[in-house]
Chain A
Amino acid sequence: MKDCKEIAALMDSYLRDELSEEETREIEKHLARCPRCYKVVCSREPSKLFSLLALQEKEERFWEGFWSKVKGTIEGERAPVYRLRWSYRVIASVAAGLLIALVATFSWLHFHQAEQGEAPSLLTEPWKETGEVLSPDIAEELESRYPTIDEMDSPDLRVYNLLLEDQTKLILVFGPEIDL
């Protein structure tokens, strides 16, 4: 704890707010219990007079009815503040559950079809990508119109005319020396 002499030595720096937080607090503690030093400070910096205003407290009578307005305003919100926190949790849990169920269903369908040798129905075919709804007859006709491989024989060459799924035409020509 600093004495009056030490305080006097630090006074200039204190009044210029140049001291550390700790030193400032020590000086202020000293000033609160030493009227002589407090008077010196006030004579040099009159605005320090107002530090006395920190000593005020309003008596209990003043606060009568204070809480009624606060409570009245937030009474209705008391439960919602609490429920809101729960409702966020419930919404997040339900959304996460739905997402997991959706992913699981699609994965199961995909692998189940693959196991049975079927083309996974979740993979779209080129002519069905337009989003048109086709009757089963038209779909069958379209499928037969776009064969994936078309083999043509000639005396010396063999020509493979391929139509890829994205409708790119690819023609492969092999001589007689190549035996596939």
Chain B
Amino acid sequence: MDKLGERWERGNEEEWKLIERCQRGEWQAFEELAERKRQRIFWIAYQITGDEEGALEITQETFIKLWRRIGRFQPGRRFDTWLYRMVVNGSIDYFRKRKRVAGGASPVEGVAEKLPSIQPDAEKELLIKELQKIFNRLSSRLPPKQRATFVLREIHGFSIKEIAKIMRATQSTVRNNLWLAKQFLRQQIKRHFPEYLTWIDRR
């Protein structure tokens, strides 16, 4: 087993005990497991949908589904892949539904609008918040699967192999989606956010 595999196994050992307790109907174990995953689930959902309320709803729905389905979870399967698949699918469905309701245009669309202004002396936390707004604007025109692939790989650091499992796609499809998303964002950043290099220097 390679180092990555070992790391994964070790990290999962404790989680496995929690999962087994959840399968026996222990609510306390479920809360503990959910606490560990809550932040990441929320941010993945938010970065795919660009909608804070929607992301919160997706996070809650994911935990409701998790409780209902955890009894069927089989040992030997990777819990994170299974869990994040629920999040990504929920987020993509939400994104598509919202687009349909809005008549094909996402409310966060409109990169021509003025992007958030960045104050040179702003705190790091504030700069990141502004960067999040920029990402929401620029990525709102990406197809949902490309956006989800970019979020999982470039923001949350999942490997291509893990993303392929989460999204039930081949690794070449994942690479292709990632390449398209990066190419689109590169062009958008250069066009709508030319001061990005200055922005980096402020870090």
Residues in A lying within 8 Å of B, measured CB to CB? 17, 21-22, 24-25, 28, 35, 38-39, 42-43, 45-58, 63, 66-67, 69-70, 73-74, 77-78, 81-82, 84-85
Inter-chain contact A81/B159, CB cutoff 8 Å = no
Q: A46-B186, A69-B60 are in contact. Are A51 and B155 (CB under 8 A)?
A: yes
**Interface status of B37 (Cβ within 8 A of chain A):** no
Chain A residues whose CB sits within 8 angstroms of the CB of B25 once the complex forms: 78, 81-82, 85
Docked-complex contact A35 and B175, CB < 8 angstroms: no
| Given contact pairs A47-B186, A63-B38, A53 touches B131 in the complex (Cβ within 8 A) | yes
B interface residues with partner A (beta carbon < 8 Å): 2-4, 24-25, 27, 31, 34, 38-39, 42-43, 47, 56, 59-60, 63-64, 67-68, 71, 128-129, 131-132, 135, 150, 154-157, 159-161, 175, 178-179, 181-182, 185-186, 189-190, 196-197, 199-201, 203
Complex Cα distance A74/B62, Å? 12
Chain A residue at minimum C-beta to C-beta distance from B57: A69
Residues of B with C-beta under 8 A to A70: 34, 60, 63-64, 67
**CB nearest to A41 among chain B residues:** B200
> B135: which A residues are within 8 A, CB to CB?
50, 53
Q: A50-B155, A74-B68, A81-B71 are in contact. List 15 more A-B contacts (CB 8 A).
A: A21-B160, A42-B196, A45-B182, A46-B185, A47-B150, A47-B185, A49-B131, A49-B199, A50-B135, A51-B157, A52-B131, A54-B43, A67-B31, A70-B67, A82-B25
Docked complex Cα distance between A43 and B156 (Å): 20
Name the one of B24, B47, B182, B197 contacting A47, with C-beta atoms under 8 angstroms: B182
Chain A residue contacts of B179, Cβ below 8 A: 17
Cα distance A77–B68 in the bound complex, in angstroms? 8
State which of A42, A56, A67, A82 has its C-beta within 8 Å of the C-beta of B200: A42
10 closest cross-chain pairs (CB), A and B: A82-B25, A47-B185, A46-B189, A21-B159, A47-B182, A53-B155, A70-B63, A74-B67, A42-B200, A54-B155
Within the complex, the shortest CB–CB distance from B157 to chain A, in Å, comes to 6
Number of A-B contacts (CB under 8 A): 107
Instruction: Determine which of A35, A49, A53, A54 lies in contact with B196 in the assembled complex, contact meaning CB atoms within 8 Å.
Output: A49
Once the chains bind, are B43 and A66 in contact (CB under 8 Å)? no
Which residue in chain A gives the minimum CB-CB distance to B158? A21
List residues of chain A with CB within 8 A of the CB of B71.
81, 84-85
Contacting pair A21 B4 (CB below 8 A): yes
Partner of B56 from A22, A66, A73, A84 at Cβ < 8 Å: A66
Q: Which residues of A contact B181 (CB under 8 A)?
A: 47
A53 and B46 alpha carbons, distance in the complex (Å): 11
Evaluate contact between A73 and B64: CB separation under 8 angstroms: yes
